[in-house]
Amino acid sequence: MELNALKIIVTGGAQGMGAHFAARLVEAGAQVAVGDVKEDGLASLAASVKGPGKLHTRKLNVADEGEVGAFVNWAHEAMGGLNGLINNAGILRDGLLVKQDRTTGAITRLTLDQWNAVIAVNLTGATLMAREVIAKMIETGTRPGVIVNMSSIARYGNRGQSNYSAAKAALAANTLTWAREFGTYGIRVGAIAPGMIETPMTQGMNQKARDALVERVPCGRIGAPEDIWRGVRFVLECDYFTGRTIDVDGGLSM
* Average of per-residue pLDDT values in the chain: 96
- Of 98, 137, 92, 134, nearest to 114 by C-alpha is 92
Q: Is the pLDDT of residue 234 over 70?
A: yes
Tens-digit pLDDT profile for residues 214-230: 888 999 899 999 999 99
Could you tell me the pLDDT band of residue 5, with boundaries at 50, 70 and 90?
very high
| Mean pLDDT, range 92-117, rounded to an integer | 97
Q: Which tens digit of pLDDT belongs to each residue from 34-84?
A: 999 999 999 999 999 999 999 999 999 999 999 999 999 999 999 999 999
> Closest Cα to residue 198, out of 219, 228, 235?
228
Q: What integer pLDDT is reported at residue 254 of this predicted model? A: 66
CATH classification code of 3-248: 3.40.50.720
Mean pLDDT score, 130-159: 97
123 pLDDT more than 70: yes
Q: What is the mean pLDDT of residues 176-180?
A: 98
In the chain, the percentage of residues whose pLDDT exceeds 70 is: 100
pLDDT per residue as tens digits for the range 197-214: 988 877 777 788 778 888
Nearest to 35 by CA among 55, 6, 5: 55
- The band of 105, judged by pLDDT with boundaries at 50, 70 and 90, is very high
Q: Is 160 exposed, middle or buried (0-12, 13-18, 19+ CB in 10 A)?
A: middle
Rounded CA separation 203/81 (Å): 36
What pTM was computed for the model? 0.94
Closest residue by Cα to residue 61 from 50, 51, 69, 73:
69
In a 10 Å sphere around its CB, with 0-12 CB exposed, 13-18 middle and 19+ buried, how is residue 50 labelled? exposed
Q: Of 24, 9, 141, 22, whose CA–CA distance to 74 is shortest?
A: 9
Catalytic residues: 164
At position 119, the amino acid (one-letter code) is I
